Each structure stands twice: as C-alpha cells, then as structure tokens.
Amino acid sequence: MEQNSHLTSFEKESGTATVQLMESDGDDEAVRRVREGDRDAYAVIVRRYEAPIRRFCHRMLGEPHRAEDAAQEAFHAAFLRIDTFRGDSSFKTWLFRIALNRCRDMLRYSARRSTESWEAIVEHGGHAAEALAAVEAPGYAAVEARDVLKRVLQSLPPEYREVLLLRELDDQSYQEMAETLECSVDAVKGRLKRARAALDGALRHLCEESTVRRSEEREQS
C-alpha cells in the first residue's frame, strides 16, 4: 500500500492494479488503454507529463492561474482527441502541440495581452541583467537573474517565446520542435536563431540602460 501513497483519491478508488502496470509501461500502451476506456491509464499519463506541460504554460503565459487553466485544458483536450493521435510523433510532442495551441489561443484572446513596460523591466532588473550579460550569473543571485530573464522573455513575441521554451525548458531536439511547431527543421533553426538574438539583444540593451541610469543617478547625487 505504501507504494501507492502517491496516487490520487481518484486513482485509489479506481483500483491500483492497472496503475501499477501503467507506471512501468510506455506511452503507446497507456494510449491504447485510454482508447479502450481505461481512465486510470490517463491519470498515469497526466501524472507523467504534468510538470513539463505546466512549466511550459506558465512560462508562455506568465500568469500562474491562466497557466494552470491552460495546462488542465490541454490535458482535457488531449483526452477527448486521443483517437486522433496517429503516432506519427511521440505522445509527448503531440501533447505539447495541444498545450502550445491552447496557450496561443489564450494569448490571442486575452484582453491583457500587453506585457510589462520596458521601463519597469529596467527598474526591476537592471542589476541582474548586467550580471547576466557579463556571464556572472552562476555566482550571482540566481533568483534575481531568473526573474529578470522571465520578464524579458515575456516581452518577446510569443513565437520567439515558444521556440525558446521548447528548446530550453523541455530540451526538445530540432526534429521534435519541428513536429511540435508543425514546420521544417530549417524553419526551427531560423526561428530559434532570431529568438536567441532577440533575447540576448534585449538583455544587453537592458544592461546598457541600467548602466546609463545608474551613472545619471551618481551624477545627480
């Protein structure tokens, strides 16, 4: 029984025999069981991928509550559409594609599409950006550095954000990214290059503005 202590009440009520079997099974077996009406199998899939999908939605949308909603909707939609999964790509890639589309929809229809102003980012994270740009982050306060990076990430266009997150957050290969984004590998390379240039440029720009601002403050004082 101790082995099942991590299960939800839903899974416990449904019986543990199937769940134990599924924990060691691959996605193909899990998907087959879900198609046959085994809901416990889908709970195992959700448990398997909830962390990367939630993290991706959170970084894409920038708001925890909307991100949770998007992640839940993505898993819900995947369950309803599981009969359409043909196995051309991995199940994880297919799931990420659904989550990505959900995030795109939310960003498209969101009334609060505007991101934080550049001034606010400079105000909050100038020091951290300077540290990042100077490659001092490993010895720097990582929390602050991560915070400023997330703020800058939110200021980038969504198409840059999604390609950066798929690469860095989920460690997807170019081929997997191409399947998730439904484009060619060359297109992935191009988009990733532009996204990284934008991120790096924004952080360097942030660093320069921060430096100028601080020198002005010193002169005034």
Of residues 172 through 191, those in contact with another protein by CB under 8 A are 173-174, 189
CA distance 117 to 209: 14
Chosen residue from 30, 31, 59, 206 binding another protein by CB under 8 A: 59
Chosen residue from 22, 31, 43, 178 binding another protein by CB under 8 A: 43
* Stretch binding another protein (CB under 8 A), from 48-56, 88-96, 117-125, 206-214: 48-56
107 in Cβ contact with 158 (< 8 Å):
yes
CA distance 96 to 74: 8
Give Cβ neighbours of residue 191 (< 8 Å, ≥ 6 apart): 159, 160, 163, 181, 183
CA distance 143 to 134: 17
Q: How far is the CB of 215 from another protein (least distance, A)?
A: 23
CA distance 113 to 49: 27
Of residues 74 through 103, those in contact with another protein by CB under 8 A are 75-76, 79-80
Nearer to another protein, 15 or 87 (CB): 15
Chosen residue from 87, 142, 157, 216 binding another protein by CB under 8 A: 142
CA distances from 115 to 124, 129, 195 (A): 14, 18, 17
Nearer to another protein, 5 or 221 (CB): 5
121 in Cβ contact with 205 (< 8 Å):
no
Q: Which residues lie near another protein (CB under 8 A)?
A: 6, 8-11, 33, 36-39, 42-43, 46-47, 50-52, 54-55, 58-59, 64, 67-68, 71-73, 75-76, 79-80, 132-133, 135, 137-138, 142, 145-146, 149, 153, 164-165, 167-169, 171, 173-174, 189, 192-193, 196-197, 199-200
